[in-house]
Amino acid sequence: MNTLALKLSMTPILILAASLAGRRWGEAIGGWLVGLPLTSGPVAFFLTLDQGPAFAQQAAAGSLAGTAAQACFALGYFWAAGRARWPLAFSAGVAAYAVAAASLQFFALPHLALFCIALLALTLALRAMPRQTLRRVIAILPLWDLPARMAVATTLVVAVTAGAATLGPRLSGLIATFPIFATVLTVFAHHVQGAPAARQVLRGLLLGLYGFAVFFVVLSFMLTQASVPIAFLGAGLAAMLVQGVSFKLMRRSG
């Protein structure tokens, strides 16, 4: 199997589909969609193919830690957005992500503990974000936007899987969770439509990350209990079930 060809084809297709759907239905929906493991999922799949299930299982722990770190990113950006323009708000989000990620990486907690921390972080971050009306204003994006997203995603997948042996499993999984596409959506919404639009992206992201966390905790257990296809299928189905529930909650709160 030519894994490089799969990386170069599967990743941009996934990102293209999510980006087009986000354009069609608006900021909060776009944030919710990029909460799916669109880059870290393919990274986990290719790590399994390249390095084996045991390595990928440890990488899943890094992804669970990254879920909590993404919640910190969203909360840091959310509160800074009301007081500053996007460069400073983005810097606050990155700083919050880095502190959370470094702390969880240092303690090297087991999968279940990381999963519980991720759920707690997402829930507390959502509670700290005031609810706003769901808007459906669609921004006019430049022509380079979609190709840039696809290129960045593909580069991330190829780079992380190529350097996995050097980075180690947990760090590989952690790096793959940095919210690249949520950042693109949030920063553009902030720059074009203001802080309220950026905040909607971030609330949608947090609701979408529940499915993200479920994907990796299920994957971490199934990789040692079933074949690779069954493990990813089971994790994907569990994530989609949770994602459907989070979508209903988002619509209800909007």
> Residues 6 or more apart from 67 whose CB is under 8 A from it?
118, 121, 122, 177, 209, 212, 213, 216
Measured CA to CA, the distance from residue 98 to residue 141 in angstroms comes to 29
pTM attached to this predicted model: 0.83
Q: Which residue has the higher pLDDT, 181 or 126?
A: 126
Tens of pLDDT, residues 8-64: 777 788 778 777 776 777 667 777 877 888 777 887 888 888 888 888 888 888 899
Q: Where are the domains of the chain?
A: 3-135+144-253
Q: Does 113 have pLDDT greater than 90? A: yes
pLDDT band for position 1 (50/70/90)? very low
Measured CA to CA, the distance from residue 118 to residue 72 in angstroms comes to 10
Tens of pLDDT, residues 155-210: 877 777 777 667 778 787 777 788 877 887 788 888 877 888 889 889 889 998 99
What is the C-alpha end-to-end distance of the chain, expressed in Å? Answer: 45
What pLDDT was estimated at residue 219? 94
Q: What percent of the chain shows pLDDT beyond 90? A: 33
> Residues 6 or more apart from 163 whose CB is under 8 A from it?
172
**Which pair of tokens denotes residue 199?**
């905040």
What pLDDT was estimated at residue 82? 84
CB 7 within 8 A of CB 42: yes
Least confident of 119-128, 131-140, 234-243: 131-140
